[in-house]
Amino acid sequence: MNLKDFKPKSQLVTKTTLVDRPKFPVIDAHDHLGEPFGGGWDKRPLSELLDLLDDAGVTHYVDLDGGWGEDILDSHLKHFKEGAPERFQIFGGVDWGKWQELGDQFPEWAAKRLVAQKERGAQGLKIWKPFGLHVKDHDGKLADVDDARLAPIWETAGELGLPVLIHVADPVAFFDPIDETNERWEELGGHPDWAFTSPPFPSFMHIMNGFKNLVARHSSTTFIGAHVGCYAENLGWVGQMLDDCPNYYIDISARFGEIGRQPYTARKFFIQYQDRILYGSDMSPDLDAYRLSYRLLETDDEYFNYNTSEVPAQGRFYAYGLYLPDDVLRKVYRENAMKVLKI
């Protein structure tokens, strides 16, 4: 039998709690609505999306697919923001490809584009994971995350009051050799382009240490570390960065499996940093997936699949509920995002 055909069924007798709606209204602070990640909702009736979000208990939704092109940003602002201005925020981005063309003028140009994006209606800046892995300067050299030349971008975001939601690196295993010891071996087999084995790529910790330097250096700018601060496997490291950087927040998007397989540590982490954690899903609007995430955060259910696929998609491990206190849930679901996103 091939490993891909191995789908064991647990014989544990444990309770299953169905959470149809969250205990408190939710702000999804990390998600997508376009292609390829968001399900193409920019081509579908807005009323269908609003009905789904209502069923999921999601009152506000951050769409990170505004990008940097005028056409994409404008189309998302028109389709979502104009249609339901109280429900959506659209984030812009940086066109790193212009660095080769503009040379030393690129950072100032990118900062001015950010000003223009805000004038058009963007309410934040999304930095995607090619930053630190693929983005090169005009000399063809890979740019570090804390490259001092890029300071105008981050300082301008702070001056404009725009939060910077940033995804650097990826799961730690993506940087390890793809062998029998790699816990994400199956996932990388299906997506070989997700492998960033070091070398030739920078090491995971090189990227993360540069990320921390960036956030600490620009203390007047609000940063949100995507995917549990890009290091869900080590909550102690994430917590230390939160301690050291008062301008730093994290979201929990796309890391429910990592959170749920360390329930004791994760529960303590959520309680300790309850004022700095934002709910995010990163799964496109999906009612069943939303309900699974609520189950993870609200219940004490044991040993369940953390996503809707038949086999757990991010590793062959199951999750445990965190049964977070109501005051913590209220902050994570809503109150922290209201403060950071100025809702």
Q: What confidence tens digit (pLDDT) does each residue in 36-56 have?
A: 788 899 999 999 999 999 999
- Give the pLDDT mean for 65-73: 82
- Give the pLDDT mean for 69-95: 93
pLDDT in tens, 1-30: 987 788 888 899 999 999 999 999 999 999
What pLDDT is attached to residue 157?
98
What pLDDT is attached to residue 313?
85
pLDDT classification of 330: cutoffs 50, 70, 90: very high
Tokens of 22: 């969250």
What pLDDT is attached to residue 5?
85
Q: According to CATH, what is the number of the domain 3-341?
A: 3.20.20.140
What pLDDT is attached to residue 273?
99
Q: Please, is 3 exposed, middle or buried when counting C-beta atoms within 10 Å of its C-beta (0-12, 13-18, 19+)?
A: exposed
Whether the CB-CB separation of 114 and 107 falls below 8 Å is answered with: no
Which single residue is written with the structure tokens 């990008």? 67
pLDDT classification of 223: cutoffs 50, 70, 90: very high
pLDDT in tens, 269-323: 999 999 999 999 998 899 999 999 999 999 999 999 999 998 888 888 999 999 9
Distance CA 247, CA 263 (A): 26
Whether the CB-CB separation of 91 and 123 falls below 8 Å is answered with: yes
What pLDDT is attached to residue 188?
94
pLDDT in tens, 90-138: 999 999 999 999 999 999 999 999 999 999 999 999 999 999 999 999 9
pLDDT at 70 over 80: no
Distance CA 340, CA 276 (A): 9
pLDDT in tens, 233-257: 999 999 999 999 999 999 999 999 9
pLDDT in tens, 190-201: 999 999 998 899
pTM of the full structure? 0.97
What pLDDT is attached to residue 275?
98
The helix (H) or strand (E) run that includes residue 121 is: none
Distance CA 100, CA 291 (A): 44
What pLDDT is attached to residue 316?
86
For 265, other C-beta atoms within 10 Å of its C-beta total 14
pLDDT in tens, 164-205: 999 999 999 999 999 999 999 999 999 999 999 988 999 999
What pLDDT is attached to residue 108?
98
Crossing angle of helices 204-217 and 235-244, rounded to 10°:
20
Torsion of CA 243, 249, 253, 259, to 10 degrees: 20
